[in-house]
Amino acid sequence: MLIRVPKTQTIVSRGPVGLPTMRAAQAVSQFNGVYLRPNSGNSESVPASGPYSASPDIWFAGTTPIANFQQVLATDSSYATSSSNNIYSGQTNLIYVRGKNGATVNKTNTVQLYYAPSGIINSPSQWQSNVIKTDLGQTQGHINNLATNTVGVCDATFVWTNVTPPPPGSDHYCLFAQFNDANNSNPFPSVDTALDMGSLIMNNLGWGWRNTSMIAATPTWQYTEPLSIPVDYPTTNAYSIFISPTGYVGWDAEFYASRPDSADNPIRLGRTKVTQDGVLLGVSSAVLEPGYQALMTVNMYSPNGSKPPAGARVPMSVNYVASAPAQLREAVARNLIDAEFMFRLRRHCPEVFDIGPQAWIIQGTYNWETVSR
């Protein structure tokens, strides 16, 4: 039977329905505070434009510290550039954070850094507890009394130690930097809705987001230990820093400090083959001032992926280099000369004896040793 549809019930096909016309264009304003750019093409304007996870103000330095980083990274030429995205797995990675003051008054801010496995959406609840500390073991650094329209660099070096590969389903990490002040005007965000997340990314330039590229450079094992010179020592002096691996013949060894020495020279032993037990490998002279502090990282690389034998050890020692005649006489008078160490030093590092009479006075040691399982 044929059914006729009344004209009043005719079905009409419609195309896409447009949104109502906006009454006014979205307002653009300037961020009133110290800000991080979401990408190199943005400044302090909010809402910001994408990409939103490429902040050039989170600076990855790899394993090599930047001398005078607070001055170097604040120059106009540096501010116009960005570091690589590289983060090295298994290593101690050094990270710096900078910002520019978009307020009309001087600003003082705390700086904190967090990490999270990669994801298209990264809610703050996922990374609130993933704090990257400074090389002094603090959870934050500072940008102090930053003048308006001026670039400032956080006074702390952030160190991400022994970075492990991200968990399954993720191929890199995302890092997030936070600026805050004594009034907690930029607290850790409470993101309860999708609109909250959009506002955090587009409007709150007190937060910066930087994606990483993971580079495989994983040592077989690593240890980190702080190096500090007492603040009440009267003078700046030269120190030697050595490791002497035992049980690691055929392995590669390296170490580095999170900061240059007080003369802005890197404290670093490049990757070196261990040719015999007890060989001294290291830096014969690092100039360190009272109050100097850094984090030392030692990496050991197996030639075939094997683990070290039980009892293998990698002691690190720091020695004061006494060269003034009065100091040498006092060292002898106080029975401070380690003849066995001096003999090993002459055998393994003969070049250090070419600059005149010196004595190496032990200041401290740290020993990492494997145990039986």
φ/ψ region of 264 (left if φ > 0, alpha if ψ in -120 to 50, else beta) reads left
Alpha carbons within 13 A on the beta-carbon side of 131: 12
User: pLDDT digit string (tens) for 310-352?
Assistant: 889 999 999 988 878 888 888 888 988 887 888 888 888 877 7
Query: Which residues on adjacent β-strands are paired with residue 152?
Result: 99
Q: E-assigned strands of 289-334?
A: 293-301, 313-322
The CA distance from 175 to 213, in Å, is 11
The CA distance from 259 to 116, in Å, is 25
Residue appearing with tokens 């590092």: 349
**Structure-block tokens of residue 102:** 């978009």
Predicted TM-score of the model (pTM): 0.84
CATH topology of domain 221-369: Jelly Rolls (2.60.120)
CATH topology of domain 29-216: Immunoglobulin-like (2.60.40)
Same fold, 29-216 and 221-369: no
User: pLDDT digit string (tens) for 121-137?
Assistant: 888 988 999 999 999 99
Bridging pattern class, strands 221-228 and 237-243? unpaired
pLDDT in tens, the chain (373 residues): 444 544 444 444 445 545 555 444 567 888 999 999 999 998 888 999 889 999 999 999 999 999 999 999 999 999 999 999 999 998 999 999 999 999 999 999 999 999 999 888 888 988 999 999 999 999 999 999 999 999 999 999 999 998 988 888 788 899 999 999 999 999 998 898 999 999 998 999 999 999 999 998 788 888 999 999 999 999 999 999 999 999 999 999 999 999 999 999 999 999 999 999 999 999 989 999 999 999 999 999 999 888 888 889 999 999 988 878 888 888 888 988 887 888 888 888 877 766 566 778 888 888 777 654 4
Q: Where are the domains of the chain?
A: 29-216, 221-369
- Backbone angles phi and psi of 140, in degrees to 5: -155, 160
Q: Which CB contacts under 8 angstroms, 24+ apart, belong to 11-14?
A: none
Q: Could you please report the per-residue DSSP string of 261-292?
A: -TTS---EEEEEE--STT--EEEEEEEE-TT-
